[in-house]
Amino acid sequence: MNEWEPENEKFWKETGSKIAWKTLIITTLTLVLSFASWFIMSVVVVKLPGLGFTFSKDQLFWLAAIPGLAAGILRIIHTFILPIFGTRDVVSFATFIKLIPVLGIGIAVMNTETPFWVFMILAFTTGFGGGDFSSYMPSTSLFFPKRLKGTALGIQAGIGNFGVSLAQFVTPVVLSVAIYGAPSVFTKIDFNGTQAVLEQTSIEKQGVVFASLEDSKQTAILATVKKNVMDSVTAAVHSTDKKVVFTSLPLKVRAKIIADANPKLVEKFLNQLDKKNKAVINKPMYIQSAALWYIPFLLIMTLVSWFYLRSIPIQASIKEQLDIFSNKHTWYCTITYMMTFGTFAGLAAAFPLMIKFLYGDFPNAPDPLAYAFYGPLIGSSSRILFGFIADKVGGAVLTTITGLGILAGAVILVTQGLVVPTSMEQFPLFVGVILTMFFFTGIGNAGTFRQFPIIFSENQRQAAGVIGWTAAIAAFGPFLFSILIGSDISSNGGANYFFIGLILFTVLATVINWWFYNRKGCERPS
Say whether both 423 and 372 belong to one domain.
yes
Work out the pLDDT band at 319, boundaries 50, 70, 90. low
Say whether both 308 and 259 belong to one domain.
no
3-state DSSP percent of the chain in helix, strand and coil, to 5: 75, 0, 20
User: Distances from the Cα of 474 to the Cαs of 145, 325, 465, in angstroms?
Assistant: 25, 16, 14
Element at 90 (helix H, strand E): helix 87-96
Say whether both 190 and 248 belong to one domain.
yes
Report helix angle 57-85 to 477-492, nearest 10.
Answer: 170
Average pLDDT over residues 343-347: 90
- Identify the pLDDT of residue 41: 86
Strands 184-189, 280-285: pairing is antiparallel
Q: How far apart are CA 130 and CA 139, in angstroms?
A: 16
Average pLDDT over residues 422-442: 93
Q: How far apart are CA 520 and CA 526, in angstroms?
A: 11
Work out the pLDDT band at 58, boundaries 50, 70, 90. confident
Work out the pLDDT band at 381, boundaries 50, 70, 90. confident
Say whether both 204 and 280 belong to one domain.
yes
Work out the pLDDT band at 174, boundaries 50, 70, 90. confident
Say whether both 334 and 348 belong to one domain.
yes
- Identify the pLDDT of residue 44: 86
- Identify the pLDDT of residue 1: 58
Mean of all residue pLDDT scores within the chain = 84
Work out the pLDDT band at 201, boundaries 50, 70, 90. confident
How many residues can be counted in the chain? 526
Say whether both 345 and 476 belong to one domain.
yes
Say whether both 293 and 209 belong to one domain.
no
Say whether both 354 and 501 belong to one domain.
yes
Burial classification of residue 207, based on how many CB atoms lie within 10 Å of its CB (0-12 exposed, 13-18 middle, 19 or more buried) = middle
Per-residue pLDDT at 17 exceeds 80: yes
As a whole-number percent, the residues of the chain with pLDDT over 70 amount to 97
Burial classification of residue 496, based on how many CB atoms lie within 10 Å of its CB (0-12 exposed, 13-18 middle, 19 or more buried) = middle
Q: How far apart are CA 509 and CA 503, in angstroms?
A: 10
**Residue 365: which region, alpha, beta or left (left: phi > 0; alpha: psi -120 to 50)?**
beta
Number of domains in the chain: 3
Closest CA to 160 of 63, 38, 303, 340: 38
DSSP code for 219: H
The least confident of 40-54, 329-343, 450-464 is 450-464
- Identify the pLDDT of residue 2: 63
Closest CA to 518 of 393, 409, 408, 407: 393
User: In 10 A of CB 306, how many CB atoms?
Assistant: 15
Give me the DSSP letters along 23-79: HHHHHHHHHHHHHHHHTHHHHHGGGHHHHT----HHHHHHHHHHHHHHHHHHHHHHH
Average pLDDT over residues 462-466: 75
Domain that holds residue 243: 186-285
Closest CA to 181 of 114, 106, 113, 231: 106
- Identify the pLDDT of residue 188: 82
**Residue 364: which region, alpha, beta or left (left: phi > 0; alpha: psi -120 to 50)?**
left
Do 62 and 469 meet the contact criterion of CB atoms below 8 Å apart?
Answer: no
Work out the pLDDT band at 144, boundaries 50, 70, 90. confident
- Identify the pLDDT of residue 320: 59
- Identify the pLDDT of residue 122: 94
CATH number of the domain bearing residue 69: 1.20.1250.20
- Identify the pLDDT of residue 353: 79
Q: Which residue would you say has higher pLDDT here, 266 or 318? A: 266
User: In 10 A of CB 317, how many CB atoms?
Assistant: 10
Say whether both 198 and 173 belong to one domain.
no
As a whole-number percent, the residues of the chain with pLDDT over 90 amount to 25
Q: How far apart are CA 323 and CA 315, in angstroms?
A: 14
- Identify the pLDDT of residue 410: 96
pLDDT in tens, 392-407: 888 899 999 999 999 9
- Identify the pLDDT of residue 142: 79
Say whether both 387 and 306 belong to one domain.
no
Per-residue pLDDT at 315 exceeds 60: no
Say whether both 312 and 435 belong to one domain.
no
Average pLDDT over residues 179-199: 79
Per-residue pLDDT at 514 exceeds 90: yes
Per-residue pLDDT at 302 exceeds 90: yes
Find the angle CA(351)-CA(352)-CA(358) to the nearest 5 degrees: 80
User: In 10 A of CB 174, how many CB atoms?
Assistant: 17
pLDDT in tens, 470-506: 877 887 888 888 889 988 887 888 899 999 999 999 9
Say whether both 277 and 373 belong to one domain.
no
The least confident of 2-16, 33-47, 474-488 is 2-16
Q: Which residue would you say has higher pLDDT here, 312 or 409? A: 409
Q: How far apart are CA 30 and CA 140, in angstroms?
A: 13
